[in-house]
Amino acid sequence: MAGVTTELAPPRSDGAGGLHVLVVDDSVFARAMIAKWVEEARLGTVATAADGEQALKKLAVFPADVVTLDLEMPVLSGYEAVPRILAMRPDIRIVVVSGQSEAAARKTFRALDLGAVDFVSKPGPGDKDAFRHQIVERVRALGERHGSRQARDAAAVLPSSAPAVAKPPVRVPEPRGERPAILAIGASTGGPDALARLLKAIGPRINVPVVLCQHMPAKFTSILAANLTRQTGLECREGEDGEQLLPGRVYVAPGDRHMLVRRKGATHHIHLSSDPPEHFCRPSVDPMFRSLAEAYGPRVLALVLTGMGTDGAKGAAALSAAGASIAVQDEESSVVWGMPGAVVKAGVATTVLPVEALAELVRKSCVA
């Protein structure tokens, strides 16, 4: 790619935020652009590298909290660098910067499987502002989460005269209200791993439809559905416009479309919408949840998993007003506690649980 440099750029600081961010890209323009955005957002100190090998050398001297990592680079590619970065710095948070082709999507999922926590697709024509927002907010959210975990871990090793107290076992509440007729799930950053663990633990005996919104662009969601089928044994696929919902199937909102549910007599069907993005996302959790409140009323069990931002909170409020139950992933097990935390802050979360306990709640509520 044109504009490749072999020099390790020195760190730059704006003197504001406390994060350390490493931007890795073989394009001089892309490196400069992302570094400038992070600096303008006053997130902290930025360093850059032109490939995976340079990134490893930089990490030996630069205490990065977050790495933005291009996948397609010479010398050492992004997805080849992921395991080596994490072997050196297991606590670091890696955001992959991906192309939009199907081949790029497959490499992105490979990087996520290897330990990257999130990705951002490179922009198409007219998408630069959304790309900037996604980069900056992911760095901000992951950096804040990294800092809070470091503080918690440091506190845990301080000497104390008090005896250690074992954590009490997680208590999963008994289902309340009407038995759910559908399970709805919203997720973003850290979602693919959480979804795989959740659905595998729920198991194949679930006897209601499952509708799932994971923030992802087109060409990525079909791969997500295929991966979830392989990982969980459940039938997972992208929802199709007009398709009738059937028990035991998992319908993934396709990239670049909102997935809604409409009632037609005694049956329920998918409606795909090209309405404007919400929270910079299409698909978005809020419109899906709002449609379920109208279509099912109280007979919805909604789960909000790990993710940055507040998507899902307003939709969860609509579900709560309709009498539905909303359970969210707990902060400790979330990669980012933005979306679940927003539901809790809105006062509409029925319960807060780790992923495995959420699966038990679903089994109690939705398994024959």
Active site (catalytic) residues: 188, 215, 311
* Sole residue written with tokens 């050398």: 57
Give bridge partners of residue 268 from the DSSP assignment: 263
**Rg for the chain, CA atoms, rounded:** 21
Amino acid at 80: E
Q: How far apart are CA 119 and CA 127, in angstroms?
A: 16
Q: Nearest-5° angle of CA 128, CA 96, CA 20?
A: 90
Determine contact, residues 343/326, Cβ cutoff 8 Å: yes
Q: How many CA atoms within 13 Å lie on the side-chain side of 3? A: 10
φ and ψ at residue 213, rounded to 5 degrees: -120, 110
Reported as type and span, the H/E element at residue 17 is none
Q: How far apart are CA 68 and CA 79, in angstroms?
A: 12
Give bridge partners of residue 22 from the DSSP assignment: 47, 67
Alpha helices in the chain (DSSP H): 28-40, 52-59, 78-88, 102-114, 128-156, 191-202, 221-232, 285-296, 313-321, 338-345, 355-366
φ and ψ at residue 184, rounded to 5 degrees: -120, 135
Q: Nearest-5° angle of CA 320, CA 321, CA 326?
A: 5
Tell me the two tokens of residue 195.
């979804």
Q: How far apart are CA 232 and CA 195, in angstroms?
A: 9
